[in-house]
Structure 1
Amino acid sequence: MSAHAVIRYADWMISPETAPEAPAIVHELQCTTCRSSSEANEDFETVRNWAFQHVGRHPSHTAYREIIHRFWRATLVR
């Protein structure tokens, strides 16, 4: 068996996926005090409401990390 490889320099561009069938951006918030986190959701308001409820139950938990799942596509530049 033989292997054949072609290696060459190429320019690539990476950008957010814009195809109509691309998954939506998904948001999540994580409390940096206790590491509890919201469910991942396409609707940021749902995630934000989780943070309001969390800080309401735990008034000293005031800092949050946003986790965003955004889909990207690499494209060969010709």
Structure 2
Amino acid sequence: MDDFSSISLLSLAMLVGCYVAGTIPLAVNFSEEKLKLVTVLGAGLLCGTALAVIIPEGVHALYEEMLEGISSFNLS
């Protein structure tokens, strides 16, 4: 399977999963308190996932930039 097909398949799987997960709170009648709890847990999950992806990517980018700067400094 080529790269485009794998990314397309993973994107489609994420689309379906997110849609199903997003419709669960709409299909179930929650009390006001439980709806707030679901909202807070969803926001926490979203923020935690974003931080788990963004922070390592940022550190990796900074580390690569630092290594490129050191290698170009040594060459001159």
Q: TM-score range by the shorter chain?
A: under 0.3
Between structures 1 and 2, the one with greater strand share = 1
The one of the two structures with greater contact order (alpha-carbon pairs below 8 A, sep at least 6) is 1
Structure 2-normalised TM-score? 0.23
